[in-house]
A and B are shown apart, each in its own frame.
Chain A
């Protein structure tokens, strides 16, 4: 088997596994946990596309998530539009936000860029709380309509979006685009010297990253049926970075696996009651310390080398 065929088979198998997973449990709780995991998968994959490839770590990814989610909230709750409009409007809004924060921060690198993005998200979070009359403040916007009545059907909808998004992002990452983005990570000056419009690629990758994050935000909003300032929080951005890292930086599909793994893990540790987060952090330290390349992507590469 050639490398490409193995990958396609893997995608099919993974999709099949994710498609049958909820049927094994068949209760709203499990379906809900998996739906949330899929949303985190979209957020992680979109983060990896920009930050994993270009090396510009974005500590404010929640800005795009919150933008998408609140767009869904406003359209549905304030204006009474059907939830399906969110799917189109959320990515657009997120992309607008990415332009507002992305253009002024183009020349920033490393921790400077990270901090600028983090501040952007923090500013939005503060604004949503201060202008509570319009945004519902700390409690957020409530009573969003679900897109589909059956949680299981909605799970499949989100799954389809996730698979398609991941494939698109992976294909772009493997194309010339991806090579250029990785080159920018290596040596920006050389790229510029070669005549590549580095700024264009930086902004474009941020916009793409934002679009998918916003879309994920809207899907999440119509699952949770509520949006709040916690969707702009630093903690959310950092959790996503952890998921990407566990999955394998730069692989696009690895972060999806990392997101699903960590989300399911957090919930399955409920048996530990008040020790839940403690055990979770312990597992995290374990993974971060012993598997600095991540868990999912290196594992898949190992399997692939046996098969192909």
Chain B
């Protein structure tokens, strides 16, 4: 018995020595380029970001890698911002930069966590390509202190201030000019970026001649929206603009449908960007309009092939962080190729010159390292859920491919 044990442990030891040390020997020939992904891994947006990065890495490695080196992914969980705060996110970026020595960070989801991570990322002098946080304050740091924060880029989404402009555009262009509405109310969750956005939208709408009887905020954990629906209805509003990201818009939409509120809803609803949102709420999001960054539509020649490949690989439709994460890997890889090195300063110079046709549009960065928006670049589409879960682009006019409908309990136009 003892002899067997001795022999088997010696054998195991020998095997470990052989295979355990073989890898480093091979890797010494070409050290991989390590991509660190910091995101909330327990949430859909996190998982899709990781999968999109993996997809891009496999493709690039299949074509020979970058500068003869393979790309490698390593993931660090940012935790759940709501319960753990930014603490876990900061530990995540510290781990990726100082413990695992990644060459670049791709990630981000909650703006509060990303903002908290920035000084730590900057101190580690590592490039960060944001693919989920929308707060303008993040990229503002690039302007305020370029030398310290030049590492920070945002590939996706368009920042919330620009989203607000796009939303205002939708309100004045579609609701007022097209449909002739005069009274529109606004409801937003009390996240910082929404609190900043709503007064600006209200002012802009009023300047255009609309009345905004109600502009209110609600706590992320609000479970009952009946009071607000009743108030909006009594105010005579003809449309309710909603701005929801972390809160449960599933419940908001279901309660709206169940009460057959005679006021159509639309705006920015992050959960409604999901391809399976309609099914998830049992079809009750019909006629809801929500801003979206990507759907299975030919925004660029790459969009549909990318979408289909993602679905076939991962058996689910991608959420909004996925296209940005995928593009970010390519954008970084291209910048490294042009710079001829992974050294941050050189790559930053090349990143600033990025001109890349991605899955959502053409990606270029402005002086704040923000992804540019506007015709020809990355745009925000306003998409409506219609019968059977079909998604129809109803704004901007140039990209619209259908008419806007009313919820089934209101007269159709």
Contacts and interface: CB of A to CB of B under 8 A. Distances in A.
- Touch A–B, Cβ below 8 Å: yes
Interface string A85-107: 00000000000000000000000
Contacts of A267: 91
Contacts of B182: none
B99 A142 contact: no
A29 B119 CA distance: 14
A51 B75 CA distance: 40
A261 B195 CA distance: 39
Given A28-B94, A132-B192, A228 B85 contact: yes
A139 B111 contact: yes
Interface string A271-302: 00110100000000000000000000000000
Contacts of A143: 119, 141
Contacts, number: 95
Contacts of A226: 86, 115-116, 119
Instruction: Report the contact-size class of chain B (Cβ under 8 Å from the partner).
Output: 35 or more
A70 B223 CA distance: 29
Interface of B: 41-42, 75-77, 81, 83-88, 90-91, 94-95, 97-99, 111-112, 115-116, 118-120, 123-124, 135, 137, 141, 190-193, 195, 219
Given A138-B112, A140-B112, A228-B85, A29 B91 contact: yes
A129 B87 contact: no
Contact of A29 (B94, B111, B112): B94
A280 B284 CA distance: 38
Of A29, A32, A36, A146, most buried by chain B (CB within 10 Å of CB) is A29
A138 B192 contact: yes
8 contacts: A27-B94, A32-B90, A139-B137, A140-B116, A228-B116, A270-B95, A273-B41, A273-B75
A273 B77 contact: yes
A228 B91 contact: no
B77 A270 contact: yes
Contact of A137 (B75, B98, B118, B195): B195
A215 B119 CA distance: 22
B99 A29 contact: yes
A228 B86 CA distance: 8
Chain B interface main SS type: helix
A270 B86 contact: no
A11 interface: no
Candidate in A32, A143, A226, A270 with the most chain B CB atoms within 10 angstroms: A226
Given A28-B97, A142-B115, A137 B192 contact: yes
A32 B193 CA distance: 28
A203 interface: no
A230 B190 contact: no
Contacts of A36: 87, 91
A258 to B, nearest CB: 17
Interface string A231-271: 10101100000000000000000000000000000110010
Interface string A105-136: 00000000000000000000010011011001
A224 B115 contact: no
